[in-house]
Amino acid sequence: MGKSKTSRQEILSGNSGPRNHLHPPLWCAAFVSARRPNRVRPSLLFKVKLMSDHVVPHFHNDAGVPVIEIGSQEFMCVGAQPPFDHPHVFLDLGNDNEIICPYCSTLYRYSTTLGHTESRPPECAIKDQAA
């Protein structure tokens, strides 16, 4: 028995196989109205936060400082400026105030006095971010 090929468009639209209409992905359950199962609740759609909704700030530690204070709880550590950077790591502080990058061991500390893309020392924030 051969497997049928599924196109990328079918996967993205949710029509990737005969089971999808019977067993939708779990995340769908939060958006489906109990009274009208074929309709998405618009009240929940605004609560979904996508990474594309905001710019994720990038920080580096070319200066070799022991601690970098940042104004964002979600950010990317690039280690050093390219071409000497390590793999870009997405770090999320969650409920903590500090996190250590697993690649370069830089300690990042959250500060409420800084803006979303600011850092202390200020030269550790990458200003020009390409998508």
DSSP string covering 18-78: TTTTTS--GGGGGTB-SS-TTSB-HHHHTT---GGGSPPPEE--TT--SEEEES-SEEEE-
Count the helix, strand and coil residues of the chain and give each as a percent rounded to the nearest 5. 15, 20, 65
3: pLDDT strictly greater than 80: no
What is the edge-to-edge ordering of all strands in the sheet holding 89-92? 58-59, 74-77, 89-92
* pTM of the predicted model as reported, rounded to 2 decimal places: 0.59
131: pLDDT strictly greater than 50: no
56: pLDDT strictly greater than 60: yes
Q: What is the pLDDT of residues 21-39, one digit of tens each?
A: 445 554 455 545 555 555 5
Give me the pLDDT at residue 14, please. 53
If you average pLDDT over every residue of the chain, what do you get? 76
104: pLDDT strictly greater than 80: yes
Q: What are the domain boundaries of the chain? A: 8-48, 52-124
Residue with tokens 């500390």: 109
Architecture of the domain made up of 52-124: Sandwich (2.60)
Give the Å distances, CA to CA, from 46 to 1, 31, 41, 59, 87. 44, 11, 10, 29, 32
**Span 115-128, average pLDDT:** 92
Let me know: does 59 contact 66? Beta carbons within 8 Å.
Answer: no
